[in-house]
Amino acid sequence: MEWESVKDSWALANQKKIPCMGYGTWLLSGEEAVDSIKKAVRLGFRHIDTAAFYGNEEEVGKAVQQCQDEGIPRNQIFVTSKVWNDNRGYENTMASFKKTMERLKFQYLDLFLIHWPASENRFENWKELNAGTWRALEELYEAGKVEAIGVSNFKPHHMEALLETANIKPMVNQIEFHPGFWQKETVEYCKRQEILIEAWSPFGRGAVLEQELLKNLAKKYDCSTAQICLRWELQHGVLPLPKSSNEDRMKNNMQVFDFSLTEEDMKQIDEMPICGFSGEDPDQIEF
């Protein structure tokens, strides 16, 4: 698929449209968060990614309301949030969602995700925990309170266990994905299942931007290393979620629709050694 701007969309498995690039809000807070989100929307972003854990859902809701006041309807802004790890299980997830909606002040949410899977290294009943959380998401979806549901940081074995009891297949899996760490097995599994991959940390926390290969490719294509990363992600059929509070960098991140990487250059990036990995393995995390 070819896009012309960040406003262009993919269709999820349920045909819900999702803009092809999102604006990440991790570590944004207070008035900086409100101002940055409004700035991103004014520039053209129509997809905002937050989470209960980020502590900025209230600011996201405030920014979206102010964008509505400026003439951009709520149904043109796609918003994602996530249930945090200490609220796993059916009842906890339902209560967490209620608080999320109170903070956002929305009538509905576009996409709701399980932030991290319960894993075997911490929980003997990890499958049941994930299943209970997912059952809550399914009910919220069926009630029309959420227009799409999915997961984050799920590896294939987490997904397989979830699908044993799920009535609705996750529509999205948001994972760490960037040059130097792209979780090929998980990506290929999700593509077979028609689950869209979203990329958190699309620049590998900045470390990737200093890699010589990407610098050389940036010279070749007359663009920035950040643009090379984002274009590589899009050409893999992955939806990137870049974050910046700097307007020039926001504009830069949006300008990736007027060039394409060759197959050879895509392959070179694919084969980069591990770089920029957060170290946060879903099977090993202690939070």
Which residues have a catalytic role annotated? Answer: 54
Which DSSP helix (H) or strand (E) runs through 93? helix 90-104
The label of the residue with tokens 């802004």 reads 77
Report how far apart, in Å, the C-alpha atoms of 56 and of each of 31, 47, 86, 104, 137 are.
Answer: 10, 15, 17, 9, 21
Report how far apart, in Å, the C-alpha atoms of 245 and of each of 23, 40, 82 are.
Answer: 10, 8, 21
Dist. CA 200–CA 239, nearest whole Å:
9
Dist. CA 170–CA 219, nearest whole Å:
39
Dist. CA 180–CA 39, nearest whole Å:
30
Dist. CA 64–CA 42, nearest whole Å:
11
Q: Where are the beta strands (DSSP E) in 121-260?
A: 149-152, 172-176, 196-200, 238-240
Tell which residue, 125, 128, 137, has the closest CA to residue 168. Answer: 137
Dist. CA 156–CA 166, nearest whole Å:
15
Dist. CA 203–CA 222, nearest whole Å:
18
Dist. CA 79–CA 62, nearest whole Å:
12
Residue 126 has a CB neighbour count (10 Å cut-off) of 17
